[in-house]
Amino acid sequence: MTINGSDHNLDSEHLVRSEDPQHPANLICTLCRKFYTLGWRFSRRFEQVTGTGGGTSIRHGPHIYIAPSGVQKELMEPTDMFVMDFESKEYLRKPKSHKPSACTPLFMSSFTLRDAHCCIHTHSQWAVLITLLVERDFGPSAPFEIERIEQIKGIPKNYARDANGKVAYLGYFERLRIPIIENTAHEEDLTDSLQQAMNDYPDTYAVLVRRHGVYVWGDNVHKAKTQCESLDYIFQLAVEMHKLGLPWMPKD
Ligand SMILES: CSC[C@@H](O)[C@@H](O)C(=O)COP(=O)(O)O
Ligand SMILES: [Zn+2]
């Protein structure tokens, strides 16, 4: 099979067709549908992967599963997925008449620099509002910081692992810090600044993009999803606290 540069052919169908709902090609479709229409466990509507923007990518074994660009993400089928070989970065499957998500180099940054296995990009309004509030109140290079909110315990503290390979999560009295990068005209042009933010904040599992949204990654799909949920809850809470005149960082 000719791989690089060719449209997909039937030889690549086995990469995306599976009865297993946990198969990455099925999971991306399920997650994007949920992100679009369903309530999170906090009973809120979550419409962050909307108007074709946002999305998710999964690294599974030697393969990366990527959604097409510019499509209605909630209507995708498993056979719409691109599949890349992680090692060679060559496409094993390229569906006709679409390009891979413009987020691909950003998803790849989390896989290569952080050994993540799932990365989620949302255009959450709470994420966007937080980037604007931080800029106005703390300056253009400040990160979003918050502490003493129970939900930060859903976010890993760093990339250290204990003897059993387990990650430690932030404690209630510790501080969550999420770097913010400036938006660019094209999604892929965010790659350098996202990687710079990952270097500057070596413990972070997320990067906010001013006036745009957020990238959140995790060791697996479950962790990326729950961390994304926790962060979205925290961003919304901080915005609402600010509206009530409550500082989201305790004064003492
Ligand atoms: C409202 S479309 C915005 C997109 O251009 C961009 O922000 C994005 O998230 C990329 O989407 P994609 O459709 O995966 O290429
Ligand atoms: Zn985007």
pLDDT digits (tens, 9 = 90+) for 187-210: 999 999 999 999 999 999 999 999
User: Does 78 sit in the ligand 1 pocket, CB within 6 Å?
Assistant: no
Residues with Cβ within 8 Å of 179's Cβ and at least 6 positions away in sequence, in order, are 143, 197, 200, 201, 204, 207, 208
Indicate the SS3 state at residue 180: strand
pLDDT band at 37 (very low <50, low <70, confident <90, very high): low
116: phi then psi, degrees, rounded to nearest 5: -70, 160
Residues with Cβ within 8 Å of 27's Cβ and at least 6 positions away in sequence, in order, are 21, 58, 221
Instruction: Give DSSP secondary structure letters for 81-122.
Output: -EEEETTT--EEE--TT--B-TTHHHHHHHHHHH--SEEEEE
Query: What are 100-151's pLDDT values in tens digits?
Result: 999 999 999 999 999 999 999 999 999 999 999 999 999 999 999 999 999 9
Tell me which ligand sits closest to the C-alpha of residue 123. 2
* Residue 176: alpha-carbon gap to chain centroid: 17
Task: Kindly give the distance from the C-alpha atom of residue 119 to the centroid of ligand 1, in angstroms, as a whole number.
Answer: 14
Per the listing, tokens 């994420």 go with 127
Angle at alpha carbon of residue 101, lines to 100 and 105, rounded to 5°: 95
Within 10 angstroms of residue 208's Cβ, the number of other Cβ atoms is: 25
The predicted pLDDT at position 54 comes to 74
Q: Is 242 annotated as a binding residue?
A: no
Residue bearing the CA closest to ligand 1, atom 6: 53
Task: Kindly give the distance from the C-alpha atom of residue 73 to the centroid of ligand 2, in angstroms, as a whole number.
Answer: 12
User: Does 52 sit in the ligand 1 pocket, CB within 6 Å?
Assistant: yes
